[in-house]
Amino acid sequence: MSPHMETRPVLALHCSLAHGGAFTALSQLLPGVSLNAPDLMGHGKAPDWDGLSDYHAAATEQALAAIDGQVVDIIGHSFGGTVALRLALERPELVRSLTLIEPVLFAAAKAAQDPAWGGFIEDHRAFGGLVALGDKIEAARQFHAMWGGDAGFDSLSPRMQSYMSDRIHLITAPWNVILEDAPGLLAPGRLEGLTMPVLLLQGQKSPPIIAAVNRALSARLPRARSVEIAGAGHMLPISHAAEVAPVVQAHLDAA
């Protein structure tokens, strides 16, 4: 292992309704990596979102602050993947490589006119209606059924159920970006201009919209590579850390 690898800084950005600790298992399987996994706004011990500011822009600013001027590799899962991609587009000189684990930039599938978009958006807007009505528990139950893996919401601990339902509004908070691409991340030429290597990961059991997003991004990112993890769903960096780690490590080593 080279001296460079012994101190290699990596920023890890977690999915919505989680916290930085979600990367604990994966980080232990990446030797030579110094992994910084902050709690994003409204999660873990981070300050709450004010409900007024642009949530996605604020999360991106938080990620930029966490880098503190270093050149880093970035790993982003789900919502964290969209923040990672935005940061790379806005400050490419600070990003050595990207690992996007099921990035939920659903607008990419819409822009590519992928057939997976239609069924997805119908279900997702129904969930959004529950959030708008303030039905936090049912909204969290439906969201977990779509994205949370094999364990049902009702099988989770009361503490975990409360953590998720109390933060369920953070799922719809960045919809202006992930559904509508308000900042123009998908504008012609933007993705094509990213020169760092990008690893796109997805789980074999994940909803079809994820494969659609990754297809759309892979078609436009000049140095993208896509890998599917057998038997995994959306929570693959947690549920399948042992399978994800060597793929990520090889990506970091080659960057």
- Boundaries of domain holding 54: 3-112+175-254
CA 231 to chain centre: 19
Task: Sort 158 into a burial class: Cβ within 10 Å, 0-12 / 13-18 / 19+.
Answer: exposed
**229 falls within a domain:** yes
- pLDDT tens profile 185-197: 999 999 999 999 9
What is the structure's pLDDT at 6? 56
**121 falls within a domain:** no
Helix H or strand E encompassing 229:
strand 224-229
**122 falls within a domain:** no
**234 falls within a domain:** yes
- pLDDT tens profile 35-83: 999 999 999 999 999 999 999 999 999 999 999 999 999 999 999 999 9
What is the structure's pLDDT at 150? 72
Taking the C-alpha atoms of residue 83 and residue 168, their distance in angstroms, rounded to an integer, is 18
- pLDDT tens profile 125-166: 889 999 999 999 999 999 998 898 777 899 999 999 999 999
What is the structure's pLDDT at 149? 72
Query: Please, where are the H alpha helices in 41-78?
Result: 55-67
Taking the C-alpha atoms of residue 139 and residue 251, their distance in angstroms, rounded to an integer, is 36
Q: Please give the order of strands across the beta sheet that includes 198-203.
A: 33-36, 8-13, 72-77, 95-101, 198-203, 224-229
The answer to whether the CB of 141 falls within 8 A of the CB of 153 is yes
What is the structure's pLDDT at 79? 98
What is the structure's pLDDT at 106? 98
What is the structure's pLDDT at 96? 98
What is the structure's pLDDT at 5? 40
Sequence-distant (6+) residues with CB within 8 A of 224 are 197, 198, 199, 200, 217, 218
| Mean pLDDT, the chain, integer | 94
- pLDDT tens profile 3-23: 444 579 999 999 999 999 999
Q: What's the sign of the alpha-carbon dihedral 240, 217, 109, 186?
A: positive
Taking the C-alpha atoms of residue 18 and residue 142, their distance in angstroms, rounded to an integer, is 16
The token pair at 19 is 């916290």
**140 falls within a domain:** no
Domain harbouring 211, CATH code = 3.40.50.1820
Count of domains observed in the chain: 1
What is the structure's pLDDT at 2? 41
- pLDDT tens profile 91-104: 999 999 999 999 99
Q: How many C-beta atoms lie closer than 10 Å to residue 233's C-beta?
A: 20
Average pLDDT of the segment spanning 232-237: 95
**164 falls within a domain:** no
Kindly report the backbone phi and psi dihedral angles of residue 215, in degrees, each rounded to the nearest multiple of 5, phi listed first: -60, -45
**149 falls within a domain:** no
**169 falls within a domain:** no
